[in-house]
Amino acid sequence: MAFPVQKSYSTEMSAKKSTPPRNEIEKLTERLREVTYLGTAIAVLQWDQEVTMPKKGADARAHTISLLAGLVHNKFLEVDHDGLLSGLKKKLDGGKLSPAEATVVRETWRSFSRERKLPETFVKEMAKLTSKSQNVWTEAREENNFAKFAPYLEQVVEKKREEAKLIGYADSPYDALLDTYEPGMTTSEIERIFGDLKTFLVPFLARIQKVSNNKLPHVIAKSAHFPIEKQIELSKQVAESMGYDLDAGRIDVSAHPFTTSFHPNDVRITTRYNPKDVLESIFPTMHEGGHALYEQGLPHEHFGTPLADATSLGIHESQSRLWENMVGKSLSFWKHWYPKLQKEFPGVFTAPLADFYASVNIVKPTLIRVEADEVTYNLHIIIRFELEKALIEGTIAVKDLPKLWSERYKEYLGITPKSDKEGVLQDVHWSTGYIGYFPTYTLGNLYSAQFWNTAKKQIPDLPKKIGKGDLKTLREWLRKHIHQHGKSYSAEDLALKITGEKLNPDYFSRYLEEKYTNIYKL
């Protein structure tokens, strides 16, 4: 996921006689592109597994993905079979590469150094295990049966501990896994950020609950019915208004909405539809649409290289959370879209706009993370981080998860799951081996508030534009300031470049205070 830096390869390289011959970088780029194309075959199979694959195909699919994962692993390690990458690394260390070249070599070397520590047998075993585990999780979730999934999760945890040991770490084994998704971030830094955030969120939530008693209006009648075909069309309209190119993508249905990118010309999202609540499709569509906009803007000429890759998952998540929350749950957005809802579903939305806006932003602890409001959402993430970190460090066992999950929800949110389905089985991440991923959701929230603050300063009439249905002005700002840089900057340095500060969680706290103090008259 990346955009070109200020100059193209050809312009930059011809201008610098001290850089290596173009064919060295072209050779590396060609090899990386082949690895990426092979990797997209796995992505297609995983997309199909979530969207269209028949239930009985799970075992065969696991073997196929395992075989391909081994091939991709070996193909990537072969980029240095003749010392090409090692030679470029020496030139990088000697300061002989241009900025664009340096990004490609630096980030490729970083990934290469990590990947070569993992044996092919480990890579294939992990791919097969997580493919099977994901299907078992789906069945266990449907059956509300954690015991069915637990043996697979135990294997996943053991494999992730093995991965951390192979990669190496200084303090916590969780560091090695976190670094996969958020390069440079450490467990201790996450604990500090999350600790400060929890200190703010818990009393702030208590203030809202004390004042409101959850008396904000619910404007959708329980008897309301929203035909799926109308919701599909509305989701399409919202996504296209954001700038999502449906000629280079599609919107499908899955149990857990996600975004998959095979190429800038093939970026797919999924959502879900509830015939009793149209908002359950609009917000996931905007969330995944935010991810997709990042992917669709990638430059074709750099496809397969770090110049066409996102800085981190925290930055990627900042795009989805910004669109879903800062835009999608704003009064400005609904000034334009609420009349459209009223027209599409006559007689259903009769409340004034102000009441509808308030209802969209009701703060109430719930058990389901993806349905959580902006105030409580990060408490869901903090719980997951604390538990998965403890799993990897070996201080808790898989069998203890349901009990510990319930205890944390009671402590942080004041509610207790009535079943494993609405508790420990609700997220797909552990079944797929994505341990270390959860913190990036909260980092995304924090970055999104910081970027949103800067965007409004640089585009003073942004809320008015959004209120008139103009979402593409914001998309272009994001493309210019975030998407085009690829991995040229670390997440921290990118925030500094855009906002003048490194990650500062205070922007998120102030955003919540300002918005919800006004809504709840605190």
User: Can you list the alpha helix ranges (DSSP code H) found in 96-186?
Assistant: 99-115, 120-143, 146-167, 173-181
**Amino acid present at 222:** K
* Cα(439)–Cα(46) distance, integer angstroms: 23
Assign 253 to helix, strand or coil: strand
Q: How far apart are CA 172 and CA 111, in angstroms?
A: 20
pLDDT tens for the chain, 522 residues long, are 332 333 333 333 333 444 544 689 999 999 999 999 999 999 888 888 888 888 888 889 888 988 898 899 999 999 999 999 999 999 999 999 999 999 999 999 999 999 999 999 999 999 999 999 999 999 999 999 999 999 999 999 999 999 999 999 999 999 999 999 999 999 999 999 999 999 999 999 999 998 865 565 667 776 789 999 999 999 999 999 999 999 999 999 987 789 999 998 999 999 999 999 999 999 999 999 999 999 998 778 899 999 999 999 999 999 999 999 999 999 999 999 999 999 999 989 989 999 999 999 999 999 999 889 999 999 999 999 999 999 999 999 999 999 999 999 999 999 999 999 999 999 999 999 999 999 999 999 999 999 999 999 999 999 999 999 999 999 999 999 999 998 999 999 999 999 999 999 999 999 999 999 999 988
Dihedral of alpha carbons 517, 318, 178, 256, sign: positive
Rounded distance, CA 236 to CA 273, Å?
Answer: 13
User: Given 12, 182, 280, 288, which residue is catalytic?
Assistant: 288
Three-state secondary structure readout of 63-84: HHHHHHHHHHHHHHHHHHCCCH
- One-letter amino acid for residue 272 of the chain: R
How far apart CA 385 and CA 375 sit, in angstroms, is 17
Catalytic (active site) residue 288: yes
| Residue type, position 129, single letter | L
pTM of the model: 0.90
Contact (CB, 8 A) for 244 and 293: yes
Residue 513 carries which side chain, given as an amino acid letter?
E
